[in-house]
Amino acid sequence: MSNATTFVGLDVHARPVKACAFVPETGETIRKSFGYEPGEIASWVSSLPQSARCVYESGVTGFHLCRELNAMGAACVIGAVSKMHKPAADRGRKTDRRDAQFLAVQLALGVVTEVHVPDAECEGARDLARALADARDDAVRAKQRLSKFLLRHGLVYDERNAAGQRRNRWTGDFWAWVGRIDLGDAAAMATLDHYCERVREADAAKAALEAKVKSLAQQPRWKPTCDALKCLKGIDAVTAASIACEADGFARFATASGFAAWVGLVPSEHSSGESRFRGGITKAGNKHLRKLLVEAAWHYKGASRSPKDLAKGQVVDAATRRHANAGVRRLVDRRRSMDDAGKQSSVANVAVARELACWCWAVGRMAEGA
């Protein structure tokens, strides 16, 4: 239990904030309502008769309020909402006041699992990497809309080269083919122009953000870790920067398994007595990082055991590179053994992603000087 004698639960929304201060020694509760004004909340917390500690739930409200309160001298943490379990009797009676009191009591009992709060620089880098992921999704959706529109009009790109191989879409030849399309209707042609423009805009936005994330990977705070992570196959500059800023320092994870669990790449388990059953991965944790690692793991299907060459400007010490090369060999062998055993491809890939997460942790720790 904390040394604080008063525990404050904050039910935070975009505008209103409900606060409940709980004193365990007396059972007294003090309630207060605020707008989203960190200064007013900090002043009220400071006016409480005993030293106080605040908590609010993780979620869309982010880290801003927590950082502001701590900067003003009001100790505050963020509790992982996925680890908070309300009694069944209370689930049918949900109000902001009751939620604030529940948080205060949970903090007093010492059962709140605290969320790591990144600094503003790290959060900005993370948001940039996530914006790139959104831009990539937008580009995929824009291309799907155009493809399906053309399909509805009986148009499918099926051009072939001299060797008889089907040409890829979204190339200069593809756009030249689209430019020759005449649907014979003004409204349909306007729709085609709209979808084509959305694809070009989405591709341009994606390219611009990729350049910014690559530049981020060269900043002094991120470059050592990014350079080390890039020694692993499947991880380029963009992926390395995304992993580095999502993790915000691998030292905060005691073990590789702990990092993999945080990403949600460990098997679920349902065991009781002598029975033991392990199921699919938990998917509990950082979904952005989990998606990156699962996508990177596909590179090990059919990959060679040879190490990656260093890119221009990539600086990695010999020990870190040797360890990363050992990881590449291990992951390639692991994927081959599962393919030879007839494992389903997606299952094998997730298993490789789990081990890749562990190797990222190990290489990242070495880059941090551990």
pLDDT at 2 over 60: no
Same domain, 142 and 191: yes
Domain-ending residue, one of 165, 188, 216: 216
Same domain, 56 and 101: yes
Going by pLDDT thresholds of 50, 70 and 90, the confidence category of residue 280 is confident
pLDDT at 207 over 60: yes
pLDDT at 89: 73
Same domain, 82 and 202: no
In whole angstroms, what is the distance from residue 39 CA to residue 45 CA? Answer: 10
Residue 114 lies in a domain: no
Whether the Cβ atoms of residue 41 and residue 68 lie closer than 8 Å to each other: no
Same domain, 353 and 252: yes
Same domain, 132 and 230: no
What percentage of the chain carries pLDDT values higher than 70?
99
Domain-ending residue, one of 42, 77, 109: 109
Going by pLDDT thresholds of 50, 70 and 90, the confidence category of residue 3 is low
pLDDT at 300: 98
Q: Tokens 């006016």 label which residue?
A: 47
Residue 1 lies in a domain: no
Same domain, 167 and 80: no
Mean pLDDT score across all residues of the chain: 94
In whole angstroms, what is the distance from residue 259 CA to residue 73 CA? Answer: 31
Going by pLDDT thresholds of 50, 70 and 90, the confidence category of residue 155 is very high
Going by pLDDT thresholds of 50, 70 and 90, the confidence category of residue 193 is very high
Same domain, 210 and 281: no
Look up the domain containing 207 and give its range. 120-216
Query: Rounded mean pLDDT of 120-135?
Result: 98
In whole angstroms, what is the distance from residue 254 CA to residue 139 CA? Answer: 38
Going by pLDDT thresholds of 50, 70 and 90, the confidence category of residue 50 is confident
Q: Indicate if the alpha-carbon torsion angle 316, 319, 320, 323 is positive or negative.
A: positive
pLDDT at 137 over 60: yes
Residue 115 lies in a domain: no
Of 283 and 202, the one with more pLDDT: 202
Residue 282 corresponds to which tokens in the numbers above? 């938990």
Same domain, 126 and 100: no
**Phi (first) and psi of residue 72, to 5 degrees:** -90, 5
55 bridge partner residues: 9, 77
Same domain, 142 and 104: no
Going by pLDDT thresholds of 50, 70 and 90, the confidence category of residue 215 is very high
pLDDT at 1: 45
Q: For the chain, how many structural domains are there in total? A: 3
In whole angstroms, what is the distance from residue 46 CA to residue 332 CA? Answer: 57
Same domain, 186 and 79: no
Query: Rounded mean pLDDT of 349-363?
Result: 98
Q: Tokens 């098997």 label which residue?
A: 267
Same domain, 233 and 326: yes
Residue 27 lies in a domain: yes
Domain-ending residue, one of 109, 140, 160: 109
pLDDT at 370: 65
pLDDT at 107 over 80: yes
Same domain, 133 and 89: no
Going by pLDDT thresholds of 50, 70 and 90, the confidence category of residue 4 is low
Check which CATH number belongs to the domain holding 70 and give it: 3.30.420.40
pLDDT tens-digit series, residues 217-269: 999 999 999 999 999 999 999 999 999 999 999 999 999 999 999 999 998 87
pLDDT at 183 over 60: yes
Number of C-beta neighbours around residue 317 at 10 A: 13
- Please report, for the chain, how many H helices and E strands are present, in that order: 12, 7
Burial of 231 (0-12, 13-18, 19+ CB in 10 A): buried
Residue 209 lies in a domain: yes
